[in-house]
């Protein structure tokens, strides 16, 4: 299951895992149904299998329904990619409490809810691969992104703790911490901000969603002895 699979990195990750042979459960926020249906139709038209499941992962009740539906769709779930995330950027003194909470609810609590709910299923099968899509911003901080940085830093810490707790059940938990990738979230930045970002990337370009997807595919298919780690695809911006 890939959360936030209707666009950007989530779409690319789901497509890549499908091409590698996985059956895909594409979770999407109800506001972004079109992209998820496009993804699922493309996968099914190619002869592979996918279903789209709506759900707002910031709500525990939605996550409960989502996990039950995901397991019911194919009988079992092997891989969970916590990709869904939002940003509401403002300087600290202008950041509304509601915007702080909304980002933490989606970017951090949503991942916790799904890990918690899937863990009994993974333990019963003595197998699970969890990848949390964090961010370089959770490692460095960033002006105007206190809520996003805090959520992604928390997601990295959650990754490490979950990795320690679940290793005995052959469940690996890793974090991918991308730098600036060409996604709708980055596309919304002003041209001035984009120029400033590019100046700080030694490789001189934004990442591609497909590059993040390739890394996730490697972790879940070939990373059997890798857990609790942070992978840093960021073009050299943070070393």
What CATH number is given to the structural domain containing 25? 3.40.50.720
Q: Is residue 235 part of a domain?
A: no
- Rounded to whole angstroms, the Cα distance separating 56 from 84 reads 9
- Residue 11 among the catalytic residues: no
Percent of the chain with pLDDT over 70: 100
Q: Is residue 13 part of a domain?
A: yes
Of 11, 127, 148, 238, which one is the catalytic site residue? 148
Q: Is residue 238 part of a domain?
A: no
Q: Is residue 233 part of a domain?
A: no
Q: Is residue 86 part of a domain?
A: yes
Q: Is residue 237 part of a domain?
A: no
What domain range includes position 97? 8-228
CA distances from residue 69 to 52, 61, 216 in whole angstroms, order as listed: 10, 13, 23
Contact 50, 22 (CB under 8 A): no
Residue 6: its H or E element: none
* Residue range 95-137, pLDDT digits in tens: 999 999 999 999 999 999 999 999 999 999 999 999 999 999 9
Dihedral sign of CA atoms 157, 153, 151, 12 in order: negative
Q: Report the interhelical angle of 97-104 vs 146-166 (nearest 10°).
A: 30
CB atoms within 10 A of CB 49: 15
**Residue 142 in this model has a pLDDT that exceeds 90:** yes
Give residue 186's pLDDT band: very low, low, confident or very high (50, 70, 90). Answer: confident
Q: Is residue 234 part of a domain?
A: no
Q: Is residue 56 part of a domain?
A: yes
Q: How many domains does the chain have?
A: 1
The 8-class DSSP code of residue 169 comes to: G
Helix (H, G, I), strand (E, B) or coil at 234: coil
| Low-confidence winner among 59-68, 186-195, 212-221 (lowest mean pLDDT) | 186-195
């Amino acid at each position: 299951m890939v959360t936030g699979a209707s666009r950007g990195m989530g779409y690319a990750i789901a497509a890549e895992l499908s091409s590698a042979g996985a059956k895909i459960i594409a979770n999407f926020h109800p506001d972004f149904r079109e992209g998820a249906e496009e993804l699922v139709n493309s996968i099914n038209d190619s002869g592979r299998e996918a279903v789209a499941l709506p759900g707002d992962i910031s709500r525990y009740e939605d996550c409960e329904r989502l996990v039950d539906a995901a397991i019911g769709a194919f009988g079992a779930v092997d891989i969970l990619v916590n990709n869904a995330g939002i940003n509401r950027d403002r300087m600290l003194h202008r950041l509304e409490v509601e915007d702080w909470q909304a980002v933490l609810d989606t970017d951090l609590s949503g991942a916790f809810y799904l890990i918690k709910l899937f863990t009994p299923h993974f333990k019963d099968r003595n197998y699970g691969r969890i990848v949390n899509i964090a961010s370089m911003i959770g490692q460095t901080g960033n002006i105007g992104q206190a809520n996003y940085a805090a959520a992604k830093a928390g997601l990295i810490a959650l990754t490490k703790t979950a990795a320690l707790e679940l290793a005995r059940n052959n469940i690996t938990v890793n974090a991918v911490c991308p730098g600036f990738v060409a996604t709708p979230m980055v596309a919304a930045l002003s041209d001035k901000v984009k120029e400033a970002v590019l100046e700080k990337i030694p490789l001189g370009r934004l990442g591609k969603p497909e590059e993040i997807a390739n890394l996730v595919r490697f972790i879940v298919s070939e990373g059997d002895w890798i857990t609790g780690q942070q992978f840093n695809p960021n073009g050299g911006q943070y070393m």
